[in-house]
Chains A and B, each alone.
Chain A
Amino acid sequence: MIPMFAIIRFGRTSSRRSHIWIPLFLIWLVLAPVVIVLLPIAFAACLIVRINPFRACAVIWACLSATRGTHIEVDTRTASFLIQIA
């Protein structure tokens, strides 16, 4: 399943814990019509470079789904950064 939320935190120090929740499902909803419009072009491009378009779609979907669970957190004396994909 593709990720539905992302949590991002950035700031100068970790003392200020202001998280930003990004509802990715809304972004997918917005992007869906664009993807549908661009799909024939993407299919044509795949056929030109001799790639199975259905396989390409499956792989892209797998990559997107695999990002779920990613957690990257860096805390230094001066800056703090967190990105979490759920």
Chain B
Amino acid sequence: MSEDRRKILEMLAEKKITAEEADRLIAALSSTGAGGEIASGGKPKYLRVLVDTNDPLDGPTKVNVRVPIQLLRAGVKLTGLIPAVAREHMNEAMREQGVNFDVNQIKPENLDELIDQLNDLSVDVDQAQTNTKVRVFCE
């Protein structure tokens, strides 16, 4: 459940809005996709990273990155092409670095679960001292 939808339902529960108003708000939320983001229940298509900073030395910097989620899926499929010997070497190297992770466990079906959970992903960083705003979300 998205944060906006939860707020609407909470307002309805607290009787701050009527059922008709809640219905209209949820319908509007679904049609607009919550301000440019994905509609609730839909699968995200892109991972967005927005950075807006205004450093006193370097001046203003804007970064706008949109990466297709499909690229993640393709990347995971690509790991399936890594020869077994190389995978073992990778696992061993990661274990030496203190990362107990098995590359063999990366499977497309696991990624699907992760992508489903990305619906609610939203990272907002707002640092007033350096005028930096970072936003990571899926749409």
A interface residues, Cβ below 8 angstroms from B: 49-51, 55-56, 58-59, 62-63, 65-78
Q: When the two chains form their complex, are residues B71 and A73 in contact, meaning their CB atoms are under 8 A apart?
A: no
Given A74-B61, A77-B60 in contact, is the A69-B73 Cβ separation under 8 Å? no
Question: Which residues of chain B from 68 to 126 have a CB within 8 Å of any chain A CB?
Answer: 68, 70-71, 73-75, 77-78, 80-81, 83-84
Q: List 28 A-B contacts (CB under 8 A).
A: A49-B83, A50-B83, A56-B81, A59-B77, A59-B80, A59-B81, A63-B71, A63-B75, A63-B77, A65-B74, A66-B71, A66-B74, A67-B68, A67-B71, A69-B45, A70-B66, A70-B71, A71-B66, A72-B64, A72-B66, A73-B62, A73-B63, A73-B64, A73-B65, A74-B61, A76-B60, A76-B62, A78-B59
Chain B at the A interface: mostly helix, strand, loop or mixed?
A: mixed
Given A49-B83, A59-B77, A59-B78 in contact, is the A65-B61 Cβ separation under 8 Å? no
Give, as a whole number of angstroms, the nearest-CB distance from B45 to chain A.
8
Q: How far is the CA of A52 from the CA of B103 in the complex (A)?
A: 19
Closest to A84 in B: B66
Q: Count residues of chain B with CB under 8 A from any CB of chain A.
A: 24
Given A76-B60, A77-B60 in contact, is the A68-B83 Cβ separation under 8 Å? no
Q: When the two chains form their complex, are residues A77 and B68 in contact, meaning their CB atoms are under 8 A apart?
A: no
Closest to B46 in A: A69
Q: When the two chains form their complex, are residues B60 and A71 in contact, meaning their CB atoms are under 8 A apart?
A: no
Q: When the two chains form their complex, are residues B68 and A68 in contact, meaning their CB atoms are under 8 A apart?
A: yes
Q: When the two chains form their complex, are residues B77 and A69 in contact, meaning their CB atoms are under 8 A apart?
A: no
- With a cutoff of 8 Å between Cβ atoms, the chain B residues found around residue A78 in the complex are 59
